[in-house]
């Protein structure tokens, strides 16, 4: 799998704290790769996930404007408006990709295709 950013980071050009580009962890298990996106404060409905033409698209947009009677004394994070795109290699079983959102983390599991899994070789 190759990770590529097809769009510039949205945080660029915005004042700090106005929009968040989520941090991401990638971990490898024996049978899958797992992407973890740190995106606290959202609902699972705020995400749009799409697999098309060998690419995985992750989008989320949420305005987190303050209430009318409120003022911000400190603002280190803001709402979301991001899109991340990953090119899926043939090592990923695209049909089997699943996602969950829990404790502010969007977790995508990308199962390995059979040919990418480790296998033991028997000695004849």
Binding site for other proteins (CB under 8 A): 1-5, 9, 11-12, 16-17, 21, 23-30, 33-34, 36, 38-43, 66-67, 69-77, 89, 91, 103-105
- 74 vs 119, beta carbon nearer other proteins: 74
Distance CA 83, CA 65 (A): 20
Least distance CB 12 / other proteins (angstroms): 6
Distance CA 8, CA 37 (A): 17
- 72 vs 119, beta carbon nearer other proteins: 72
78 and 65 in contact (C-beta within 8 Å)? no
Least distance CB 53 / other proteins (angstroms): 19
Q: How wide is the angle at C-alpha 105 spanned by C-alphas 45 and 16, nearest 5°? A: 90
């Amino acid at each position: 799998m190759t990770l590529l950013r097809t769009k510039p980071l949205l945080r660029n050009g915005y004042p700090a704290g106005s929009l968040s580009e989520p941090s991401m962890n990638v971990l490898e298990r024996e049978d899958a790769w797992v992407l973890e996106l740190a995106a606290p404060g959202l609902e699972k409905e705020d995400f749009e996930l799409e697999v098309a033409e060998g690419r995985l698209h992750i989008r989320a947009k949420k305005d987190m404007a303050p209430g009318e009677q409120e003022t911000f004394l400190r603002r280190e994070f803001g709402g979301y408006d991001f899109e991340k795109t990953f090119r899926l290699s043939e090592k990923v079983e695209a049909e089997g990709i699943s996602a969950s959102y829990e404790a502010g983390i969007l977790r995508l599991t990308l199962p390995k295709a059979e040919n990418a899994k480790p296998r033991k070789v028997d000695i004849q």
